[in-house]
Amino acid sequence: MKVFLLSLLTILPQIAMAKNLAEPKPEDATRAMIRLLGHHDIVMFGEIHSSKQEYEWLCKLVKTPGFADHVDDIVVEFGNALYQKSVDRYVAGEDVPFEQIQKAWRNMIAAVPSVSPVYGWFYRAVREANLQSPSKHRIRLLMGSPPGDWDKIKTAQDFAPYEAQREQWYLHVVKDEVLARHHRALLIMGAMHFLRGSDQALQDEMLEQQHKPVPPVDRGRLAPGYIERELRAEGADPYLAVMGTDMVDDRGNVDPRIESWPTPALIPVHGNWLGNIPAQPIVSGGHAPATPLTLADQTDASNVPSSFDFPLADRKILKAKPGL
């Protein structure tokens, strides 16, 4: 009860203030994303790993006429750079065995317990979009996971250097393959890598778990995440959207206003009541508790699906992650 009261006291001012703010304006997610890509050289999309609804929408997005007119590259976390050349040939429409291509996401460098089939759907969707395109312009799928060889990674100690440089490698790919070539790109990575104020969010969650009061947000000290900060230093103008839910706490409660919106929708969060409600339950699918950080503190927009399902993991894993 004490923890609940602390959480409630933390978020009540936000809820009260939210009632006086403007109404959010949900927009069809596909149209909104294509419009954003026309105005920003980089759009960062923070995903919830392995969500069926999310990847059904992303597959639809890349195959929508007009998407390729605004995008040169898609940089994904779920792709081992060791297989970049094979993926280049595959998405360009060449005859490459799918068994070879699937190594890119099945062997990604991450301590993941299983591999979802949704990533294979996405690789196929990019290939199909390129094959169906009436122009010669082709979308390139860039591997944002370090080029680790699981035949040589035998222990956790072997794995540690790759794990430590995951965000650095991802940024390296964006700088060298996107910004240096003056390309436009959609970046897809787990939302926690992109969210602003993520360090503050972790500290607040630890205080909640320890049954300690969470201090108010010092918005003067909130900062973009490492990747966004470095991209802005290079002169890029990134826009951040994250996958969201209708969960407003970690006890399964939903906001009926969010539930009533047509889906999938993309909703800007600045200057409206959606941006003023606690971010963590929404971006974590209801797993994290509500803290003072709001959606407007952590992102520019939220993408809300109708629900979340997680397909059974692909059990034909090519190589186990030894020692992990």
> Could you tell me the residue ranges of all domains in the chain?
28-191+217-268+279-287+298-304
Rounded Cα–Cα distance for residues 45 and 210 (Å): 31
Rounded Cα–Cα distance for residues 109 and 188 (Å): 15
Fold category of 28-191+217-268+279-287+298-304 in CATH: Rossmann fold (3.40.50)
DSSP3 helix / strand / coil % (the chain, rounded to 5) = 45, 15, 40
Please give the pLDDT value at position 8: 39
Residues facing 304 on adjacent strands: 265
pLDDT tens for each residue of 51-85: 888 999 999 999 999 999 999 999 999 999 999 99
Please give the pLDDT value at position 232: 97
pTM score? 0.88
Within the chain, which residues score under 50 in pLDDT? 1-12, 306, 314-324
pLDDT tens for each residue of 279-301: 998 888 778 888 899 999 999 99
Residues facing 22 on adjacent strands: 272
Q: Which two tokens stand for residue 247?
A: 């969960």
